[in-house]
């Protein structure tokens, strides 16, 4: 039970998700008394599809992954991941320390065959009706072309569940013709172009991230993280700017409430922060990372993301697809 | 006379800049008849501070830098740069092909001593009263730590002209503690931390790009370009979203005009596209790159940027500073 707000958010979010998904069962790993007091507030102490596993310890937000690995015994994160690894649970959702979650996930669940490194992926909004899957978001700061290629395959498996049977895959690159891309991007482009199983559409620039032109956009974790965080920064700047523009005049504030009803809804959709639930893709199990600062609705979305991935058997699909694609590449 | 609109934009922009800067002289390199017809429209055929150098050729937007280098004789870009190199002009402003401008600038002007590679830098808006200088924006897709270090020194020289005598320098990095940065960023961080002449404040994440927390933000050209272009994409998405939110209702449109007067001004300031005039820093001369799609006001801003850099003798200051800093590092 991590995240910035702990059971105060994760418990009501779980109850909300249980309402939304009648087939869902939730096991809460954390401090029993803190969880119980939240459940009692919600009058849900006896929920038939909710159980609690008491954990003595928690991995702090500032704990380094290496340290988390060494001292994970008895922590809620480790116990939740173990429950996936031993088949007791189908997926783990956490708002805790990302680095620790990544390290412990790899340690407990292991990668799927053909996956060098798991990737952190999320769906970003676009100005079309479709979402776009962006990966990696920071799990891998340095990648080689093979790793990016695997990201493309894994992202396509996710995107084809919602967008189309043949999702358009692009590489995130920079604009100028000559200096188009570093060696990494160029090598991966060649691999993707030569893979008949992948609908590779070429390079996309940062300004097309939200254009809906691709279903999957692939980059290394450094670039993906900077890009997503930059988006967050610009979005917040816009929202602040709108608030400032109307805050000086009481009449404007009033009118804005009426005028901005639609607007704020659509602005909210554009804030990547609202798209909660980044998946760790490429593991032998489903792990969904929620923002640490997620509120009840956002954490409930992250649980929803896990439910979808379980239903769609994403790890099995990724494993099958990688086998096909890699076989094709080698023979 | 390049860019997407040619003399139609660059000529009126030059006339506007001449009005704004009484000490400015402009030499227009391009097709004499096209320039003359624009000047005639503006009734400025006899402007005392404006002259024309006819050029037979132009470098096309799709020309690769290597090709531009081979066939640059007689092109407006080459002749304008030569005029800086032989002291006839103090600065060159171009809305043409960035890759070609970079290659020809290096060829004709050469780098300053101590500069491995010139950087493309621009000032981005922040939600404070100060701007922030971001570099590199795509001139160098792969950098080593020494190059990033030089970028930091050059950026600080620009920032101290406007922000403060001891500009705060940050490295753009990703968020998670453990996986904080790739080797490049870590190595450069060490160099910066050990340089008493640089006010190094540490890492900044993408969401703090527009926070005003740093005066200079340094990254490699791939990351900088993706980050700036992403900002552009998000800004456009917001502006479209606002337009859509009000376009459905005629009354809302009317009210929005009144309400959005301030807002649109402040939104426009947030659009990095409006901050026209990226400088090629580290050359023995001043070269300012305008957006290809710049309008008259934006191209005039780019000329203004060149005027400021000439007045402030930026290349000399960079050269002096690099000598100091590098001496300090080696002895």
Please indicate whether, in this complex, the C-beta atoms of A206 and B183 are within 8 angstroms of each other.
no
Whether residue A217 is found in the same domain as residue A250: yes
Q: Are residues A30 and A78 in the same domain?
A: yes
- pLDDT value of residue A305: 93
Average pLDDT over residues A114-139: 91
The rounded distance, in Å, linking the Cα atoms of A106 and A229 is 25
Asked whether B273 and B232 are in contact (CB, 8 A), the reply is yes
Whether residues B179 and A236 touch (CB distance < 8 A) is answered with no
Express each pLDDT in A153-185 by its tens digit.
999 999 999 888 899 999 999 864 545 778 889
Q: Are residues A29 and A104 in the same domain?
A: yes
Q: Residue A292, exposed/middle/buried by CB under 10 A (0-12, 13-18, 19+)?
A: middle
pLDDT above 70: residue A7:
yes
Does any domain span residue B199? yes
Q: How far apart are the first and last CA of chain B?
A: 47
How big is the A-B interface in CB pairs under 8 Å?
Answer: 203
Nearest residue on chain A to B68, alpha-carbon basis: A178
**A269 has a pLDDT exceeding 70:** no
If you average pLDDT over residues A233-238, what whole number do you get? 82
How far is Cα A215 from Cα A131, in angstroms, rounded to an integer?
Answer: 7
Smallest CA–CA separation between A217 and chain B, in Å?
13
Q: Is A42 on the interface with B (CB under 8 A)?
A: no
Q: How far is CA B301 from the centre of its chain?
A: 11
- Cβ contact B288:B307 at 8 Å: no
Residue B212: C-alpha distances to residues B124, B197, B320 (Å): 9, 21, 27
Average pLDDT of chain A is: 88
> What are the pLDDT digits (tens) for B31-51?
999 999 999 999 999 999 999
- Residue range of the domain that includes A173: 121-274
Residue A78 lies in a domain: yes
Q: Answer yes or no: is B328 within a domain.
A: no
CA distance B112 to chain A (A): 22
Percent of chain A residues past pLDDT 90, beyond the cut: 65
Q: Kind of pairing, strands A132-135 and A119-124?
A: antiparallel
Give chain B's largest Cα–Cα span: 70
Q: What angle do CA B31, B75, B42 make, to 5 degrees?
A: 25
A 179-198 residues with CB below 8 A of B? Answer: 179, 181-183
CB contacts, 8 Å: B235 with chain A: 234, 238
- The pLDDT, as a whole number, for residue B178 is 42
CA–CA gap between residue B279 and residue B161 (Å, rounded): 15
Q: Which of A10, A274, A201, A229 is nearest to B204 (CA)?
A: A229
- Average pLDDT of the segment spanning A121-140: 90
Q: How far is the alpha carbon of A223 from chain B, nearest alpha carbon, in Å?
A: 6
User: What's the CATH code of the domain at B294?
Assistant: 3.40.718.10
Kindly report which listed range (B96-105, B111-120, B276-285, B319-328) carries the lowest average pLDDT score: B319-328
B186 belongs to a structural domain: yes
Helix (H) or strand (E) holding A256: helix A250-270
Q: Please check whether residue A31 is in contact with residue A22, taking contact to mean a CB–CB distance below 8 angstroms.
A: no
Give the pLDDT mean for B78-103.
95
Residues B237 and B154 in one domain: yes
At B235 the pLDDT is 82
**Residues A213-241, mean pLDDT to the nearest whole number:** 89
Residues A144 and A232 in one domain: yes
Q: How many domains does chain B have?
A: 2
Which residue, A228, A257, A274, sits at the end of a domain?
A274
Q: Is A172 on the interface with B (CB under 8 A)?
A: yes
Residue B318 within any structural domain of the chain: no
* Same domain, yes or no: A97 and A37: yes
pLDDT over 90 (residue B22) = yes
Beta strands in A31-90, from DSSP E residues, in sequence order = 50-54
Number of C-beta neighbours around residue A48 at 10 A: 7
Q: B184-227 pLDDT, tens per residue?
A: 899 999 999 999 989 999 999 999 999 999 999 999 999 999 99
What's the pLDDT at A178? 42
| Nearest residue, CB atoms, A238 vs list B102, B226, B238 | B238
Chain center to CA of B68: 21
Beta bridge partners of A156: none
Omega before B273 cis (within 30°)?
A: no
**B154 and B175, same domain (yes or no):** yes
Q: Which of A179, A217, A271, A289 has the most B C-beta neighbours within 10 Å, making it the best mutation to test the interface with B?
A: A179
Instruction: Look at residue B325 and tell me if it is in a domain.
Output: no
Of A80, A89, A88, give the one whose Cα is nearest residue A108: A80
Residues 6+ apart with CB under 8 A from B103: A178, B65, B66, B68, B69
Give tens-digit pLDDT for A18-72.
999 999 999 999 999 999 999 999 999 999 999 999 999 999 988 888 899 999 9
In angstroms, what separates the C-alpha of A5 from chain B's closest C-alpha?
Answer: 19
| A150, pLDDT greater than 70 | yes
A323 is a domain residue: no
Burial label for B254, CB within 10 Å (0-12, 13-18, 19+), is exposed
Is any Cβ of chain B less than 8 angstroms from the Cβ of A232?
Answer: yes
* Those residues with Cβ within 8 angstroms of residue A67's Cβ, 6 or more apart along the chain or in another chain: none
- Region B100-120: what's the mean pLDDT? 94
Q: What is the ipTM of this complex?
A: 0.86
Residues of chain B contacting residue A103, judged by C-beta atoms under 8 Å apart? 178
Q: Which residue of A has its CA nearest to B236?
A: A207
pLDDT on residue B268: 62
| A127 and A269 inside one domain | yes
Asked if A235 and A273 touch (Cβ cutoff 8 Å), the reply is yes
Q: Are residues A293 and A235 in the same domain?
A: no
Name A276's Cβ contacts closer than 8 Å, sequence gap at least 6.
A290, A291, A294, A298, A299, A301, A302, A305
In a domain, A317, yes or no: no
Same domain, A106 and A202: no
pLDDT of residue B260: 63
Predicted local confidence at residue A3, as pLDDT: 72
**Whether residue A327 has pLDDT greater than 90:** no
Residues B45 and B187 grouped into a single domain? no
- For residues A143 and A193, state if they share a domain: yes
Residues of chain B with C-beta less than 8 angstroms from the C-beta of A176: 98-99, 138
């Amino acid at each position: 039970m991590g995240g910035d707000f702990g059971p105060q958010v994760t418990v009501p979010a779980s109850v909300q998700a249980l309402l939304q998904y009648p087939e869902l069962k939730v096991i809460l790993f954390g401090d029993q008394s803190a969880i119980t007091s939240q459940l009692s507030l919600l009058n849900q102490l006896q929920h038939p599809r909710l159980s609690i596993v008491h954990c003595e310890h928690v991995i702090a937000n500032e704990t380094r992954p290496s340290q988390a690995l060494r001292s994970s015994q008895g922590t809620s994160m480790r116990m939740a991941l173990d429950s996936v690894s031993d088949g007791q649970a189908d997926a783990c959702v956490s708002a805790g320390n990302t680095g620790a979650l990544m390290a412990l996930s790899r340690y407990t669940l292991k990668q799927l065959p053909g996956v060098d490194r798991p990737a952190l992926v999320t769906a970003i909004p676009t100005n079309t009706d479709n979402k776009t899957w962006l990966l990696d978001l920071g799990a891998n700061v340095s990648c080689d072309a093979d790793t990016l290629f695997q990201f493309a395959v894994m992202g396509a498996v996710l995107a084809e569940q919602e967008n189309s049977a043949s999702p358009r895959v692009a590489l995130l690159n920079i604009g100028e013709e000559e200096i188009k891309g570093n060696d990494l991007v160029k090598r991966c482009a060649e691999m993707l172009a030569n893979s008949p199983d992948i609908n590779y559409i070429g390079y996309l620039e940062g300004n097309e991230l939200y254009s809906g032109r691709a279903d999957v956009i692939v980059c290394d974790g450094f670039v993906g993280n900077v890009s997503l965080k930059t988006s967050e920064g610009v979005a917040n700047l816009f929202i602040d700017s709108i608030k400032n523009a109307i805050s000086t005049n009481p009449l404007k504030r009033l009118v804005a409430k009426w005028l901005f009803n639609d607007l704020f809804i659509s602005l909210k959709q554009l804030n990547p922060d609202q798209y909660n639930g980044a998946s760790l893709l490429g593991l032998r199990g489903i792990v969904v990372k929620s923002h640490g600062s997620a509120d009840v609705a956002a954490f409930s979305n992250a649980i929803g993301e896990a439910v979808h991935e379980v239903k769609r058997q994403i790890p099995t699909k990724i494993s099958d697809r990688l086998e096909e694609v890699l076989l094709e590449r080698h023979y």
